[in-house]
Structure 1
Amino acid sequence: MKKLRSASIRTQILVLAVLLIVLVSVVAATTEPFIYGRHDKGIQIGLLAGRIERVVDQFHDARSPEEEEDARKLAASLGLPIEVRTADQTPAANIANTTSADILRSVRLALEENFQDVLHGLFEKQPEARPLVVKLDDARLLVFHLPAFPRSLWFFPAFISGILKIVIPLIVLAYVGSWLIIRPIARFAATAERASADDSLEQPFVAEGASEIRSLAASLNVMRKRILDMAEHRTRMLSSISHDLRTPLTRLRMRVERCEQPELQKKMLEDLDALDSMINESLSFLTNPLHNVPSRKVDLSSLLQTIATDFSETGVDVRYSGPRRLKYVCKPQALTRAVSNMVENASRYATQIDVELEDAGKHGIFIRISDNGPGLSDDLKARVLEPFFKADEARTAGSGSGFGLGLPTAEGIIRKGHGGTLTLRDGKPNGLVIEIHLPPFHDHGSGRLSTPSGNAAI
């Protein structure tokens, strides 16, 4: 089985097809004698012809009225109502001879029907009984009132045989195929999603399963290593550029401070501060080192309350609402940065900000940052998550507006660092609501899914 799991998908499909053929053959060989031996109409007709022949033989051998009465009793015990007629009461064309072949042929002609007749009378409650006339001698005839077989008797063997030979083997094949082929692919897709959300994995794609999947996993691991190396080289380059830019900025600041025109000096210092802030934000957004920080369990309520308190101390009206304690496994520094970016962005356009925390149990948790500002149009809700895009024309611009990196940075932390989602909604009656959904964390120690409050859920 291990060799089959590691074989190519083409080989696995071929093995499954052969398995299906073998399974159908075994099922047919073991079940069809049972099915057709009890429910096949042809066999029933043959048995009926044998009973008729037995009664005819006993009538033919009878030498007295008592023996004929015994033959009548035999027919009654076999479920064959009969009557004795004279030869002139029945046309000769409808009379069967007493030979076994002739009786069997006559019974088949009387009882067998074509497919259209069966369909036409399939739902009749009681099929019409048909007589069979057998010649005893030149003077007497035996009239048998043949039993009426239900027309569904033709369909029962085919129906049961189809279920046993087709439906059940296909179900078994589908189950084995899902375990052998589909399940490794689904596990591979889940690994790909986790790899995109966790930059700390060095070899996220495990080389197991079919040979094609192993080859794909190895290729993706190589590609991912190259991307990580390229990102690391980019980070080093940005750090070097940042260092090189700070040196001339420092010289410019020293020269500006010696300027003898206060008004001009003030404007030049503001421009230098803006350049320095732009360099810091851009470098922080591009490098984003907080994604590689390991997760740990923290009190999410205390984290959000601390953010609200820090902003309140600077004069921003930020209010927290939610549970007093809520344990959750996350990257606290990154999450603090994300929420702080959103609160700071809202403080530029609103006078009141509400931070709400909701425990949704097995559905995860929700963090909502609401403000009473002018809000955003539906078109701008998607664009504000693009780097370096600013929507000051939609929301009243205030002093100290950023560079369009606050929300994109927060969205990256929520989506990549925590596997959550960030959604922008309209506030009521006005304003903007930023809703963060964080999934429940997985307790790797117990192998169970845990709720945000830490209670294990089966």
Structure 2
Amino acid sequence: MKSLRTASIRTQILVLALLLIVLVSVVAATTEPFIYGRHDKGMAIGLLAGRIERVVDQFRDARSPEEEAAALDLATRLQISVEKLPASQISPRDEAEASSADILQRTRRALEDDFFDGLRHLFDKEVASVPLIVKIDQERALVFHMPTFSRSLWFFPAVASGILKIVIPLIVLAYVSSWLIIRPMGRFAAAAERASTDDSLEKPFVAEGSSEIRSLAASLNTMRSRILQMAESRTRMLSSISHDLRTPLTRLRMRVERCEQPELQGKMLHDLTVLDGMINESLAFLTNAGHNVPSRKVDLSSLLQTIATDFSETGIDVRFSGPRRLKYMCKSEAITRAISNLVENASRYATQIDIDLQDRGDEGIFVKVSDNGPGLTDELKTRVLEPFFKADEARTTGVGGGFGLGLPTAEGIIRKGHGGKLTLLDRAPNGLVVEIILPPVRDGGDGRLSAISDSTASII
């Protein structure tokens, strides 16, 4: 079975087709004698025709009324309804048919229905009986009243045979096909989708299944290695540039501080502060700061309350609502940075910011950062999560501006660092809501809390 599972798809399809043929043959050979042995309409018609021929032969040989009565009595014992009829009463239209000696064929024509006609009248309660007239000689004839066979009695065995021979083997074949071919392809597609949606290429594609899938997995793993090398080289280059910029930036700051024109000195110091902030943001984003820090148990309520208080002291209206205490396993510095980025980003475009914390049990920990700013369009909600994209044209009520890394950094901390989800929603009547869903708190039974999902643990 292992060799079949790793064979090519063409070989697998060929083997499965042969398996279907063998399975249908075995099922048909073992079930049809039982089904049609009990309910074979052709066999019943053949037996009836034989009994009619026996009665006709005995009646034809009768030379007296007593012998004719004996022949009719035989028909009664054989459960055949028959009556004597003068040959002169046979209509000219039925004369040729009545004179035919082929009783078997005439009985079949009288009792067998066309398939579609029988299907149309399958559940009719009354079934009309067609008499069978047999001309004995120039003076005598017999009228046999045909029995009425239940159409459903002869139809359902054929249906059962079709189900056993076709439907069940096809179901078995479909299951085996899904196990051999479809299931490995489904797992492979799911792995590719996760790599696409999570921007994660750390885990290689598992090379299992048919030879074609294993070949595709090997090709994608080669491409994955090249992409990782390219991304790593790019990150090292940008990080090196950001680090190297600090030296001339420090020299510029020292020279500016010796400037004797206060107005010009203030403008240059402001520009240097902006440059320094850009370098810090870029380094933090490129190096994924905080992702490799171990998790520890913190009071999430106190952490968020502290963030709200710190911003309030700078003149920004930030309010916190939530439980008084909420123990949670997380990277506190990273969470602080993510929430601070969201609040700082909202403060540029809004006058009031709300931080709401909720523990919804198995649904997870919900943190909402809401503002009363102008909000974002549906298109911009997706684009602002891209690095270095700024939506200042859409949200221009505030002053200042960011570098386009605040939201992407926060989203990376929540998704990659904690296995959570960050979503941008509309706030009524206006504004933006950044909803964060963190994995639920789990008690390990020893008093220790856990909140990091298995998928996250493999990323960290």
Q: TM-score, normalised by structure 2?
A: 0.82
Describe how 1:30-429 pairs up with structure 2 within 5 A.
30-57=30-57, 59=59, 71-91=71-91, 92-96=95-99, 102-115=102-115, 117-118=117-118, 121-122=121-122, 124-136=124-136, 139-152=139-152, 155-195=155-195, 202-291=202-291, 300-301=300-301, 303-323=303-323, 332-360=332-360, 363-396=363-396, 398=398, 400-418=400-418, 420-429=420-429
- Structure 2 residue 20 is matched with structure 1 residue 20: yes
Identity across aligned pairs (percent)?
A: 75
Aligned partner of 2:6 in structure 1 is 6
Whole-angstrom CA distance in 2 between matches of 1:27 and 1:14 = 20
Whole-angstrom CA distance in 2 between matches of 1:70 and 1:313 = 122
**Contact 2:350/2:397 (CA < 8 Å) preserved in 1?**
no
Whole-angstrom CA distance in 2 between matches of 1:159 and 1:441 = 56
Tell me by how many angstroms 1:393 deviates: 4.0
Q: 1:363 to 1:114 in 2, by over 3 A?
A: same
**Contact 1:205/1:221 (CA < 8 Å) preserved in 2?**
yes
Secondary structure in 2 matching 1:95: helix
Whole-angstrom CA distance in 1 between matches of 2:52 and 2:29 = 32
CA deviation profile, 1:139-181 (whole Å, cap 9, x unmatched): 4332210113344566444433332222221111111111111
**Contact 1:367/1:435 (CA < 8 Å) preserved in 2?**
yes
**Contact 2:305/2:320 (CA < 8 Å) preserved in 1?**
yes
Whole-angstrom CA distance in 2 between matches of 1:205 and 1:223 = 11
CA deviation profile, 1:63-113 (whole Å, cap 9, x unmatched): 88777666545433543211123333335434356x6xx221221232234
Secondary structure in 2 matching 1:429: coil
Whole-angstrom CA distance in 2 between matches of 1:22 and 1:414 = 55
Whole-angstrom CA distance in 2 between matches of 1:152 and 1:374 = 72
Amino acid corresponding to residue 216 of structure 1 in structure 2: L
5+ long unaligned stretches in structure 2: 454-460
Aligned partner of 2:432 in structure 1 is 432
Q: 1:328 to 1:96 in 2, by over 3 A?
A: farther
Tell me by how many angstroms 1:129 deviates: 0.8
**Contact 2:16/2:177 (CA < 8 Å) preserved in 1?**
yes
Secondary structure in 1 matching 2:388: coil
Whole-angstrom CA distance in 2 between matches of 1:290 and 1:164 = 62
Amino acid corresponding to residue 401 of structure 2 in structure 1: S
5+ long unaligned stretches in structure 1: none
- Larger displacement relative to structure 2 (408-417 or 216-225): 408-417
Q: 1:280 to 1:123 in 2, by over 3 A?
A: same
**Contact 2:130/2:146 (CA < 8 Å) preserved in 1?**
yes
Amino acid corresponding to residue 266 of structure 2 in structure 1: K
- Larger displacement relative to structure 2 (123-132 or 360-369): 360-369
Whole-angstrom CA distance in 2 between matches of 1:193 and 1:298 = 34
Q: 1:120 to 1:380 in 2, by over 3 A?
A: closer
Whole-angstrom CA distance in 2 between matches of 1:204 and 1:325 = 41
Tell me by how many angstroms 1:197 deviates: 6.8
Secondary structure in 1 matching 2:423: strand
When the two structures are aligned, how many residues end up with a matched partner?
Answer: 447
Q: 1:298 to 1:229 in 2, by over 3 A?
A: farther
Tell me by how many angstroms 1:452 deviates: 6.6
Q: TM-score, normalised by structure 1?
A: 0.83
Secondary structure in 1 matching 2:403: coil
Q: 1:239 to 1:108 in 2, by over 3 A?
A: closer
Q: 1:253 to 1:53 in 2, by over 3 A?
A: same
Whole-angstrom CA distance in 2 between matches of 1:327 and 1:186 = 39
Tell me by how many angstroms 1:199 deviates: 7.8
Tell me by how many angstroms 1:128 deviates: 1.6
Q: 1:387 to 1:29 in 2, by over 3 A?
A: same
